[in-house]
Structure 1
């Protein structure tokens, strides 16, 4: 990982810059682990028997596809084309709302609910691109960066690193201070930012903002401005991402059931990366991305108040599909039989509850605090 310098204090966590792109792409083309991953995905059967041949073919294809990419925008165009193709195969349509009320010339801090590890921010940026809005820089936990090529791919795609693995009070405080300063630096420089409302996905379907995240936002401001002034400065826009079907719903239910019965759950070394892959390739039904309205600093004097308003907008704007309504008893639950086949009774109940929770949250949304 790049080390920060006085000239570039965020070198260790920031996305790659345009002048760094050619060298990183060259590194990826020479990365055997990356080539093998793509080979297995694109040619699952052939790669078993003709591994060297398929890897050579994949390496050639990647070089040809990325040969003319010279900057971050060019790389994102390639990613956008791939994502569009993936969404056409794995969804029954993607819609969005609220972007027409935002100013393309302003940077925003998008705080969204968190259901899918990588697809959530990808969908936000995809919607922004479709609506001719600038894409956002993406906060991603270093727990996901198990392989150097994953780090390269993420940082090429405007991701910055959230150091969740920091140990000890001093190291953690330094990491959070750096992150707070970087978010402010990005917004002040005219770059929108995406970050999840909580650490880890809402596996139980309950989208709640962690006040600790909002305290982190304020670290770089506490000596210069009030919490409410920071809120005004950041143009915080809550985002509600709704999936009609969650490709990882069974895995989440099993994890929650294990936690409930044993009090602990130990992730496998590649579990997060496998969940990322399943989220991209699994069928999702319809998907909707709802952008809320920028939050005014008036009345937002502490993290709890801000968390409440973010949650209110996410719960209010979350698009309820028939799967959610049926799970909450407001329709036909026949689809559940397929989703819960083979699950233990407690796992099936948790899966159903996860789909039902957004309905309960939406029904309890208070009137606007604005």
Structure 2
């Protein structure tokens, strides 16, 4: 048994059997049926499920490798992009070393679509797609685990309670990431912090950076990070499909001190994140970070500055900034009219007003903060670097 079997993605020789298992899973087939036939599935799910299963078996019968599966999935990703966005753009590809694996460390706004958009950008640019870190809290049902691991995802154990178990899990995760990049020559995607930045404040957790070094702690920290080709990635959404849900959670947490997720809440967030309207999406690959830092604190600061600088701000961010009562008035943020043309502003005003109207009055400060925070971070970061 390989030491990484409990967390690694599935290999090519496991693909066929995993697909067969998925196509026999009623929960999986029910979700596909609801997605394909949202109305009819309410009444005829029992009839549609076997039809969907048979169609998928025919479509996937020749799939016997992870790369073949990803090529097949590309059309579904493109369909999602065309239906739920106004287009995806990407930049910074020139910063990547062709044929070399990278450790992509990205800001985190959406559970599924963050790595999906990074994958899509790399796939379109003819770069290998990375292995994707996903928390075990999202893998409560067997079919979800199968679905993610067959698509190059590996498991991050977050639900452990004892300190010893957590340390062992971190050591295994660190060893796997280093092994993947240095031995397997496979890139890694991982979020800069545990959990989504629900308040729009993208910040790197030092614990993530310490974890990269944990399995090689006898080596110099800067050397270890340099060997992994750590590459910050800034993922920008014009609109967040889950913004109202995030505002509600932030309001409850601020007023009660805690927030307890309801059963099925993660599933609902995943579905809304995939199908909900996002406006324009931009993915930027920052330069590889391999110098100018001594420790995790220095490195986290450099990563944050890069992600803040290269986050693509849209008109809605400036509209929210103008309304945000907690904004830093000392920052030199230009008026929206200096940045965007009249038509673009007008279109954004209509969509922003629609979202504000849909948001309960007491939740609105938290909705505004989500969109205003990236403005504050970018201009504050620019001031620090000038």
- TM-score class, shorter: over 0.9
Q: Does 1:40 align with 2:42?
A: no
2:341 aligns with: none
Separation (CA, whole Å) in 1 of partners of 2:223 and 2:119: 27
Q: Deviations over 1:193-228 (max 9, x none)?
A: 0000000000000000000111111101102x1111
Conserved? CA contact 1:242–1:289, under 8 Å: yes
Q: Does 1:228 align with 2:222?
A: yes
Separation (CA, whole Å) in 1 of partners of 2:315 and 2:54: 44
1:312 aligns with: 305
Separation (CA, whole Å) in 2 of partners of 1:276 and 1:89: 16
Separation (CA, whole Å) in 2 of partners of 1:86 and 1:139: 22
**1:122-201 alignment, distance < 5 Å:** 122-188=116-182, 189-201=184-196
2:256 aligns with: 262
Conserved? CA contact 2:108–2:193, under 8 Å: yes
Stretch moving more, 146-155 or 71-80: 71-80
1:324 aligns with: 317
Separation (CA, whole Å) in 2 of partners of 1:351 and 1:368: 27
3-state SS, counterpart of residue 328 of structure 1: helix
Q: Does 1:219 align with 2:244?
A: no
Report how far residue 81 of structure 1 moved: 1.6
| 2:205 corresponds to which of 201, 210, 213 | 210
Figure out how many residues of one structure are paired with residues of the other and give that number: 361
TM-score where L is the length of structure 2: 0.91
| 2:238 corresponds to which of 244, 247, 251 | 244
Q: Deviations over 1:170-203 (max 9, x none)?
A: 1000000000000000001211100000000000
Conserved? CA contact 1:104–1:134, under 8 Å: no
Q: Deviations over 1:24-75 (max 9, x none)?
A: 0110111111111111111122222222221121111111111110011111
Across the aligned residues of Structure 1 and Structure 2, the Cα RMSD in angstroms comes to 1.3
Separation (CA, whole Å) in 1 of partners of 2:70 and 2:361: 43
Q: Does 1:31 align with 2:47?
A: no
| 1:352 corresponds to which of 355, 361, 368 | 368
Return closer, same or farther for 1:367/1:262 CA change in 2, 3 Å cut-off.
Answer: closer
Conserved? CA contact 1:227–1:300, under 8 Å: no
Report how far residue 337 of structure 1 moved: 2.1
| 1:49 corresponds to which of 43, 54, 60 | 43
1:362 aligns with: 378
3-state SS, counterpart of residue 284 of structure 2: strand
Report how far residue 247 of structure 1 moved: 0.3
| 2:54 corresponds to which of 60, 66, 76 | 60
Report how far residue 278 of structure 1 moved: 0.3
Separation (CA, whole Å) in 2 of partners of 1:342 and 1:129: 36
Separation (CA, whole Å) in 1 of partners of 2:382 and 2:318: 20
Separation (CA, whole Å) in 2 of partners of 1:282 and 1:87: 10
Separation (CA, whole Å) in 2 of partners of 1:367 and 1:228: 26
Conserved? CA contact 2:212–2:225, under 8 Å: no
3-state SS, counterpart of residue 371 of structure 2: helix
2:326 aligns with: none
Separation (CA, whole Å) in 1 of partners of 2:383 and 2:375: 16
1:109 aligns with: 103
TM-score where L is the length of structure 1: 0.95
Q: Does 1:335 align with 2:345?
A: no
2:80 aligns with: 86
| 1:95 corresponds to which of 89, 109, 112 | 89
Q: Deviations over 1:211-252 (max 9, x none)?
A: 0111111101102x1111111111001000000000000000
2:330 aligns with: none
Q: Deviations over 1:241-286 (max 9, x none)?
A: 0000000000000000000011111101211111011011001000
